[in-house]
Structure 1
């Protein structure tokens, strides 16, 4: 099936782009490096990247080890992704809150050093996600916490594609600009796939209403952040795309923890 074969290639390219997992070289033969179509597989790539950390979360969770298990799973996920999205979040926090104007903000975001805003953003992102996972495990069990991590990994990467497609590039020499802009069809597939994976994973252990509300909360967070980025720097960068993933993943997990 040609379509299935092409999607598998897109999945391999997405995993290579979003993680440090080794992928077969045949998936890149003749590929020009563009992610315009391949990004449709981002949600499934997020799911695959989070599989190992989700199993670790489930295995390590217990009455006295809930917080430890949550942090261990997030540490494992960060190792798998190479802290790609965390780097974007930190750079965005420094640039968007520390920049005097658009040019200054973009200059700060391109700087590899991390400032006070970036440190605070990372501490909050890890702390909130770990606390949410621990709360979900305590309320609904380790199985649902693991499913929540997988769902958040998938849906947040779908919202990355939407943010990427919704805004023009803020600069022409960045990673995101070089990777191309998502095709409209690819964006729709990514959003549908992310939502479908979440709705398959979560309702088995949670009521449908909290699940839907949590997904809507993540979508609203993506919308608000995208509008803020548009007003601040006029377009997306690789950092804002990564920050979108972190913000929406954190929002989804926190919303589930509160609503369950």
Structure 2
């Protein structure tokens, strides 16, 4: 399981974990267990940055928190969001969409997706109550990576040999279920009903997004994992703000 943790950190972050671990299906399967908690670690780093700069103003704190999320992950999921936007909005046949998503070049829709992603996070974090912002950033990041683990465990790949084909593994289900239960209990303890409402909303969105991806390309790829992670993080942040105001 330690190898799974190390590989999970290396896969989801750019933290200096310089330990050689085989990048294989077995270790990736075990890594699934740690995804929610690695997500919380990513969020915790951003939350600390938010706190450090909050003495200046909310604008600076929110901007630095968003920058931290990008730097800590190396923009991993944002790259997937960009490629997915270019492919899904191209209005092309399945094979052409998959070809576009593999292309390293960024198109107009990809650029728009990245800009809107960063803008949404900045605006939402800026609007948060200072007393709860750090908690919500941490939990939103954890929720986002939990959805990545869900796609690993229950998705299907549209093509052989791609990133999604390697990552998707039905054996991940048991690790995902256990870690999801632990994460939900922790989240509910911290944020009570707000967390439960938000994670339920995000799960429903992820299932709908997975279904949409099946319709467009016949499955989910590594890029779709990343796109869903970014969208879920934004949705979770918005959900916490809305829940706090209404409940």
TM-score, length of structure 1 as denominator length: 0.86
1:3 is matched with which residue?
none
Tell whether the 8 Å contact from 1:33 to 1:179 is kept in structure 2 after alignment: no
Q: 2:66 aligns with which of 74, 77, 80?
A: 74
Tell whether the 8 Å contact from 1:45 to 1:154 is kept in structure 2 after alignment: yes
Q: 2:14 aligns with which of 4, 12, 20?
A: 20
The superposition leaves residues 165-199 of structure 1 with CA deviations (integer Å, 9 ceiling, x where unpaired) of 22211122222323452522022123224323422
Q: Is 1:33 the counterpart of 2:24 in the alignment?
A: yes
CA distance in 2, matches of 1:188, 1:165: 9
1:146 is matched with which residue?
134
Q: 1:178 aligns with which of 166, 169, 176?
A: 166
Show structure 2 runs of 5+ residues with no match: none
CA distance in 1, matches of 2:170, 2:44: 25
1:126 is matched with which residue?
118
Counterpart secondary structure, 1:134: helix
Show structure 1 runs of 5+ residues with no match: 1-5
1:223 is matched with which residue?
207
Q: 2:193 aligns with which of 209, 216, 227?
A: 209
CA distance in 1, matches of 2:63, 2:209: 26
TM-score, length of structure 2 as denominator length: 0.90
- Misfit runs of 4+, over 6 Å: none
With 75-84 and 127-136 compared, the bigger mean Cα shift is at 127-136
CA distance in 1, matches of 2:212, 2:34: 26
Q: 2:179 aligns with which of 172, 190, 193?
A: 190
Tell whether the 8 Å contact from 2:153 to 2:168 is kept in structure 1 after alignment: no
Counterpart secondary structure, 1:171: coil
Counterpart secondary structure, 1:235: coil
The superposition leaves residues 118-167 of structure 1 with CA deviations (integer Å, 9 ceiling, x where unpaired) of 12211221111221111113xxx2x4111111101111111111123222
* Cα distance, 1:182–1:49 mapped onto 2, change above 3 Å: farther
RMSD across aligned positions (CA): 1.8
Tell whether the 8 Å contact from 2:46 to 2:69 is kept in structure 1 after alignment: yes
Give the alignment of 1:90-129 within 5 angstroms: 90-129=82-121
* Cα distance, 1:193–1:90 mapped onto 2, change above 3 Å: farther
Tell whether the 8 Å contact from 2:206 to 2:228 is kept in structure 1 after alignment: yes
Tell whether the 8 Å contact from 1:159 to 1:191 is kept in structure 2 after alignment: no
CA distance in 1, matches of 2:77, 2:179: 18
Tell whether the 8 Å contact from 1:57 to 1:72 is kept in structure 2 after alignment: yes
CA distance in 1, matches of 2:74, 2:87: 21
